[in-house]
């Protein structure tokens, strides 16, 4: 009982971060309500999100009180379960053109979200195991291999946005683990080369009348993914279709001005100019900007930033390298989501299906994000050897 009370006191000592998480979830609830209150098909979404938030905070507390070292010890099994679930997805029926969900006993969940947390724990276990060999390129190569398995399975669904989160997590954890910098620069150079090549491939060489020896078919991408990349480089290719989302997202965000139009008063959102099938999820940031103006959008970014800073703080104060790796892995996961989700509404990155942590609608994603923060909290709670106090 004393040990449990000490752990609860450890959770309570980080009370400000709990308030920030609660504020983000509350802002998400208000934005989802604003985006769906005239949509009969989605009128239950705010209440459903509230239920997910309650369940998520319960999971947060349970994970925070569980020693992270115990979770790391069973992480190879969790990683295996995650991979099995990702394979099982392909046995389920496709939903909206993508195979991303598994339905069991009337409950649907997205295995890709569970796989992120399992991957962070498994990679922390692996890097700790290879601690004395971090200077070898083989360690980095094996880490990329561990990353590639869930990445390719999720990419096959297809869910490019979700899959793209795994390699930034791997990079951040390898950096903290002490991998040589020139080994890490190799994949960065590769990614930069792919981006430049994609620009020329889709935006220059694929122009009508341009003669080239290249075949523009990209076998590992779906047609709609290729099209999204093209529209990102040139939204005018489809001003009434894929380009419409980019234009309307920026218009909604800018139209909020300084004060915003008021809760449920955003015309772009209410009238459906901001696509109703994504405004409560992937395009939630423009909804917040239109409803609550600059203070709302800036406050959201500040709160998300404070969550990232907390992860870094916990990593710096961790009792061991394993705890630091977990906290940094969670930070990298959340940062990737935040950067891509907000960036795609400002034409910084292509439009892709990736939600905003703690804010976008989605039960599996919200619970997993709170569970990931529970992992960080577990590192914080156990940064002292409580069992010996």
3-class DSSP assignment, residue 106: coil
**pLDDT for position 195:** 62
Give the per-residue pLDDT at 277. Answer: 80
Q: Which of 2-6, 258-262, 315-319 has the highest mean pLDDT?
A: 315-319
| pLDDT interval class at 336 (50, 70, 90) | very high
CA distances from 40 to 30, 275, 388 (A): 17, 15, 56
Secondary structure letter of residue 42 according to DSSP? G
pLDDT tens-place string over residues 54-91? 999 999 999 999 999 999 999 999 999 999 999 988 87
Residue 210 has a pLDDT of 42
> Which of 103-112, 176-185, 376-385 has the lowest average pLDDT?
103-112
Q: What percent of the chain has pLDDT over 70?
A: 78
* Mean pLDDT for the stretch of residues 326-353: 88
Q: Looking at residue 264, what is its pLDDT?
A: 81
Output the average pLDDT for the chain.
82
Choose among 263, 265, 240, 268: nearest CA to 252: 268
Q: Which are the contacts of 311, defined by CB distance < 8 A and separation ≥ 6?
A: 327, 328, 330, 331, 334, 376
Supply the pLDDT for residue 226.
61
CA distances from 248 to 261, 301, 344, 350 (A): 16, 20, 12, 14
Res 5 pLDDT > 90: no
Asked if residue 203 lies in contact with residue 234, where contact means CB atoms within 8 angstroms, the answer is yes
Structural domains counted in the chain: 1
**Residue 178: predicted pLDDT:** 86
Q: What is the pLDDT of residues 206-232, one digit of tens each?
A: 554 443 434 455 555 555 556 666 655
Diameter over CA atoms, the chain: 76
Q: Which domain holds residue 321?
A: 2-388
Of 68 and 8, the structure prediction assigns the larger pLDDT to: 68
- As a whole number of angstroms, the distance between CA 90 and CA 203 comes to 33
Whether residue 387 is predicted with pLDDT greater than 90 in this model: the reply is no
Count other C-beta atoms under 10 Å from residue 134's C-beta.
16
Find the range with the poorest average confidence among 228-237, 268-277, 295-304: 228-237
The pLDDT of residue 388: 43
CA angle 337, 302, 235 (to 5 degrees): 50
pTM of the model: 0.86
- With a cut of 60, say whether residue 255 has pLDDT above it: yes
Write out pLDDT tens, residues 271-283: 777 887 888 888 8
């Amino acid at each position: 009982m004393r040990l449990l009370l000490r752990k609860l006191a450890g959770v309570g000592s980080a009370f400000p971060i709990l308030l920030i998480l609660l504020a983000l979830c509350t802002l998400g609830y208000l934005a989802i309500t604003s985006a769906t209150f005239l949509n009969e098909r989605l009128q239950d979404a705010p209440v459903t999100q509230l239920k997910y938030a309650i369940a998520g905070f319960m999971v947060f507390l349970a994970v925070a009180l569980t020693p992270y070292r115990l979770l790391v010890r069973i992480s190879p099994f969790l990683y295996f379960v995650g991979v099995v679930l990702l394979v099982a997805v392909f046995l389920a029926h496709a939903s909206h053109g993508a195979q991303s969900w598994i339905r069991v006993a009337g409950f649907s969940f997205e295995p890709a979200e569970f796989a992120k947390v399992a991957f962070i724990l498994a990679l922390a276990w692996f890097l700790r195991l290879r601690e004395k060999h971090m200077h070898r390129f083989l360690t980095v190569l094996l880490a990329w291999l561990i990353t590639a398995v869930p990445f390719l399975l999720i990419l096959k669904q297809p869910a490019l946005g979700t899959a793209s989160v795994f390699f930034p997590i791997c990079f951040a954890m390898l950096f903290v683990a002490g991998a040589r910098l020139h080994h890490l620069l190799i994949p960065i150079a590769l990614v930069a080369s792919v981006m430049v090549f994609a620009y020329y491939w889709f935006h220059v060489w694929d122009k009508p009348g341009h003669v080239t020896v290249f075949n523009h078919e990209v076998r590992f991408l779906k047609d709609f993914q290729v099209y999204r990349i093209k529209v990102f480089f040139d939204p005018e290719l489809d001003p009434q279709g894929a380009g419409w989302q980019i234009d309307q997202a920026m218009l909604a965000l800018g139209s909020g001005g300084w004060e915003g139009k008021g809760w449920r008063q955003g015309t772009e959102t209410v009238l459906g100019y901001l696509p109703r099938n994504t405004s409560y999820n992937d395009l939630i940031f423009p909804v917040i900007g239109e409803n609550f103006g600059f203070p709302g959008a800036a406050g959201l970014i500040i709160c998300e930033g404070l969550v990232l800073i907390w992860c870094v703080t916990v990593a710096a104060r961790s009792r061991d390298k394993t705890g630091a790796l977990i906290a940094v892995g969670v930070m990298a996961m959340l940062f990737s989501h935040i950067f891509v989700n907000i960036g795609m509404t400002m034409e910084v990155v292509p439009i892709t299906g990736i939600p905003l942590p703690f804010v976008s609608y989605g039960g599996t994603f919200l619970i997993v994000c709170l569970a990931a923060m529970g992992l960080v909290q577990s590192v914080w709670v156990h940064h002292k050897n409580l069992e010996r106090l």
